[in-house]
Structure 1
């Protein structure tokens, strides 16, 4: 996504709470989510790696990936197929979950 591109169609969104913290905060949040590799049984029990927590400027954030169909109307029938799936990465404060 950040370094070498991403082979999967997708969109990155941030909540209004994250956006209101300013451009530097948003940039830090996107970078933190992009480079998050902390997956354990406690925070990723199914091994999907589609949810995580990061800290930006001392603030805890969640990031979550949802899988939509190519038209972005419904959930994807096959999230592993890039031709059928549009991913949406949302970055938010825990209080906005």
Structure 2
């Protein structure tokens, strides 16, 4: 299953979502302690080796095969899931229904529930043709505390105004992982 954010005219995330994100410098922007990004080797495609400035890619270069492109998207999606508490320029959001399922995270038991939920998504590996027909590892469904939930990853441009021009390119894509109840889909 693929998200709605495939083309240039895709919509912004739904209003009313809890937004947890960090800027690349590691400054806290909301609901969790500030930490530095674990990204050790940033993607430097397009940088000149001599000057470090951006250069135009070769317009005549042939595009990567579809299987390489899908593998790159899957790798980037897995990287987001493995770093849910440190998403860098990506975002992790949950709907009101999921917030109500977890409860007030200022209470330890509910903070523990949120950590358990994020761990469940991080460790998710039930990808099959019915859940992940395109092989991008951008969707999952699971049970949590007796409720059926989905997580899904959509691809936006860096301003979150439109769909990403190339989900396989982390320089132009912001991934948004949304956690929602199946009834909210």
Looking at structure 1, the residues matched to 84 and 94 of structure 2 have their Cα atoms a distance apart, in angstroms, of 16
Provide the residue aligned with 1:27 in structure 2. Answer: 115
User: Structure with the greater relative contact order (CA < 8 A, sep ≥ 6): 1 or 2?
Assistant: 1
Looking at structure 1, the residues matched to 142 and 119 of structure 2 have their Cα atoms a distance apart, in angstroms, of 10
Looking at structure 2, the residues matched to 18 and 41 of structure 1 have their Cα atoms a distance apart, in angstroms, of 26
Deviation sequence 1:11-63 (CA, Å, 0-9, x none):
10000010012133433222211111110111111111100012211221100
Moved more, 69-78 or 22-31: 22-31
Looking at structure 1, the residues matched to 114 and 100 of structure 2 have their Cα atoms a distance apart, in angstroms, of 9
Deviation at 1:2, TM superposition (A): 4.8
Unaligned runs of 5+ in 1: none
Provide the residue aligned with 1:18 in structure 2. Answer: 98
TM-score, length of structure 2 as denominator length: 0.47
Unaligned runs of 5+ in 2: 1-82
Provide the residue aligned with 2:127 in structure 1. Answer: 39
RMSD: 1.8
Q: Which has the higher strand share?
A: 1
User: Do 1:32 and 1:55's aligned partners in 2 also have CA atoms closer than 8 Å?
Assistant: no
Q: 2:179 aligns with which of 66, 69, 91?
A: 91
Provide the residue aligned with 1:48 in structure 2. Answer: 136
Looking at structure 2, the residues matched to 44 and 70 of structure 1 have their Cα atoms a distance apart, in angstroms, of 25
TM-score, length of structure 1 as denominator length: 0.87
Aligned counterparts, 1:57-68, within 5 A: 57-68=145-156
Looking at structure 1, the residues matched to 115 and 95 of structure 2 have their Cα atoms a distance apart, in angstroms, of 13
